[in-house]
Amino acid sequence: SSSVLHRTPNIINPATLKQALLASAHRIRHANMFEQGHGKLNLLRAFRILNQYVPQASLSPSYIDFTECPYFWPYCLQPLYHSAIPIIVNVTILNGMDVVGEVVGQPQWHPQDLYGQYLALSFNFSTKLWPWSGYLAISMSIHQNASNFEGIVQGHVTLTIESPAKDSESFVQRSDLILPVRVRIIPTPIRSHRILWDQYHSIGYPPGYFPRDDLKQKNDPLDWNADHIHTNFRHVYEHLRNAGYFIEVLGQPYTCFDASLYGTLLIVDPEEEFFVEEISKLHNDVVNKSLSLIVFADWYNVSVMKRVQFYDENTRQWWLPETGGANLPALNNLLKPLGIALGDTILEGNFDLGEHMIYYASGTHIVQFPADGYLIYRPLNDQGEAIMQMPISPHMPQQRHLNLDNHENRKKHKIDIESIIKPRPVSMPILGLVESSGGGRVAIYGDSNCIDSVHLVRDCYWLLLALLEFTTSSRVPKLFLQLDENKQMDLPVPELERLNTSRLHKFSRVIEKNDLDNTTKQRKLPQCFINTPTKPSEPLVINLSPQNNIMRYQNHLMANEDDNIDTNIIIDSSESSSHLSRVFFNLKNPIFIPSLFGSFGVLCVFIILCRTRLYRILIMIIYGNGFYNRKSNSSRLKPMSKHRQYHSMSSLSKP
């Protein structure tokens, strides 16, 4: 902003700077919007925009196009269809007019044509914009009439932003914003091809200590990747899409989805607790509604959790885990009606499954399974026992807070798992398959690291596809039929112990602390989100291109880099062309008067020193093409000869 000080403070503000940077950014090829934002900075173009800027509001992103890949990944990878969970897009409102503002009325949806009415939109937005910004959340769903439709629909979202008038103005500042929208719609897929990804029971980016899933990864102690299908499980998402499956993300409890629409519910590495109503509904969905279930679990052991605590330099505290790699006590409660339970033995090692090699990284094992199910055993190392056999310092703190005088001893408490002598492998059940009486199938695998893109050793996406073949069809893949081990177990097992120092209730949406007896209790079951579409308005009439393409937004991949300026930002070219002269020729300019007198003095000195030469040039201009000789004896001035003209002109060039 220092380069445009003449425009501050009435014009330039934090929102203005951000608008200029976003509008002038150059898009990076082969990167999606969540990786690059608006692209790489171009300060020169940002400077040009600031010099021409008119106070206004703008949107980021300035358009929504689910057909544009890879910029709109992951939205562009999967079309929309009827009965799918609504897609929510967050749009930022930047208000460069003032620090405060408001959205006037309601945003309006203007379908471009008849098919545009198949797209149903609902809005959630901040009515007051402060400071300098707000949000617009757009929820997209497909109308029932489009259950067999295939094509591209488009339209516009309009909204109006108002801010108070400036000191020298009498009118309220106003910006009318237009957000183009384009999506692709396909007929509703069959049930067996629809997968529901459980995101509600994964605690994303938690501020507490949720330990890593692979205990050997010492450089990354926290599970901070959110376990989302679009982050560390993005390769799973791409493999499933390439295989023809459609994935929907469930951000609500199990009581909020219709099991008759989906073939498989996929639960991966859950840290959250489960509502009692969820447990009851899931059992009913599997037994009576033929919903299949695939679970990828992880390790859990209270003793190991106490040993993997670490000293945090920022808080000056010892951190203990809130749960294990996965919350197996809660997961066992969910699977108990199905006769399935997981244990607290932590297993690690390599094994063969058919023609594939798998690395089992800090996983769990199955301790209870239906008698008519199918179990797969593999010899693996007991990693938990190896950790517990490590020597421990006598100064190991028993409380969470550590005094500063013990701070120097913290290095003695670190566990080097790689230096542990591995014990003798033990054959344990790690994979189970079973079919319920109602047609729903259940597959349990004790480790999720092989489908996690972070610290991946060997992927097992093929295993996930094989499990989906088992749960979505009436046949068992050859991969499992060729395995020889088929031991069964159906024995009662004790419930897993929970860590008494756990503060999971602080980060959970399911449980909370009971102040009466210092225990935890279940929260009230939240209401399900219901998408209430906005009534469509008349098509918006705007100045379209000859190709009738409403997406007249900036496309940084196709535009010239020098002219790559977001058309969502309005500039004042007339102000740019005259603003320097208006600023200089202003009596309030402190250098204007001295510059004026200085220029006049220089002009006078120049005239005095060059008066003879200026006089001759003036004579030449007055008399046209010829010079006249003043020394002629005749009273009439006679024209000089060409020879004298040449010498006279030569003399003019001499100093």
What is the strand order of the sheet 374-382 is part of? Answer: 246-250, 194-198, 264-268, 292-296, 441-445, 426-435, 374-382, 347-353, 356-363
Residue 88 above 60 pLDDT?
Answer: yes
Give the mean pLDDT of 553-582.
Answer: 45
- Burial class of residue 48 in the structure, from the number of CB atoms within 10 Å of its CB (0-12 exposed, 13-18 middle, 19+ buried): middle
Tokens 């469509």, located at residue: 536
pLDDT at residue 62, as a whole number: 94
Laid out side by side, the sheet with 64-65 consists of 64-65, 173-185, 151-163, 101-111, 128-129
- What is the pLDDT confidence band of residue 587, given thresholds at 50, 70 and 90? low
Question: Residue 326 pLDDT more than 50?
Answer: yes
- Mean of pLDDT values over 142-155: 96
Q: Are 72 and 116 in contact (CB under 8 A)?
A: no
Sign (positive/negative) of CA torsion 547, 548, 553, 557? negative
> How many whole angstroms separate alpha carbon 578 and alpha carbon 249?
54
For the domain spanning 191-215+225-301+323-385+426-498, the CATH number is 3.40.50
| 394 vs 141, more confident | 141
Share of the chain above pLDDT 70, in %: 77
Higher pLDDT, 338 or 634: 338
Domain range annotation of the chain: 2-188+532-571, 191-215+225-301+323-385+426-498, 577-604, 610-655
Give the alpha-carbon dihedral of 408, 412, 416, 420, to 10 degrees.
180
Question: How large is the average pLDDT for residues 610-639?
Answer: 62
**In terms of pLDDT, which residue wins out, 245 or 403?**
245
**pLDDT of amino acid 422:** 54
Q: Is the pLDDT of residue 179 over 50?
A: yes
Radius of gyration of the chain (CA): 37
pLDDT for the residue 555: 39
Residues comprising the chain, all counted: 655
Tens of pLDDT, residue by residue over 392-427, are 654 454 433 333 334 444 444 445 544 445 567 889
Residue 46 is predicted with a pLDDT of: 92
Q: Using the 8-state DSSP alphabet, how is residue 211 labeled? A: B
Q: What was the pLDDT predicted at 588?
A: 56
Q: Give the integer Cα–Cα distance in Å for 600 and 606.
A: 10
pLDDT digits (tens, 9 = 90+) for 258-280: 999 999 999 999 999 999 999 99
pLDDT at 561 over 60: no
Strands 347-353 and 374-382: antiparallel
**Cβ atoms within 10 Å of 570's Cβ, excluding its own:** 12
Q: Where are the alpha helices (DSSP H) in 497-591?
A: 573-584
Residue 54 has pLDDT above 70, yes or no: yes
Range in 86-95, 275-284, 612-621 the model is least confident about? 612-621
Q: In this structure, are residues 106 and 127 in contact, taking their beta carbons and an 8 Å threshold?
A: no
Mean pLDDT over the full length of the chain = 82
Task: State the residue for tokens 């060059």.
Answer: 610
Q: Which has more pLDDT, 628 or 489?
A: 489
pLDDT band for position 311 (cuts 50, 70, 90)? confident
pLDDT tens, residue by residue, 446-474: 999 999 988 888 999 999 999 999 999 87
Distance from C-alpha of 215 to C-alpha of 301, rounded to nearest angstrom:
12
The stretches of 190-321 forming alpha helices (DSSP H) are 234-242, 276-288, 302-307
Kindly report whether the peptide bond that precedes residue 423 is cis, defined as omega within 30 degrees of 0.
Answer: no
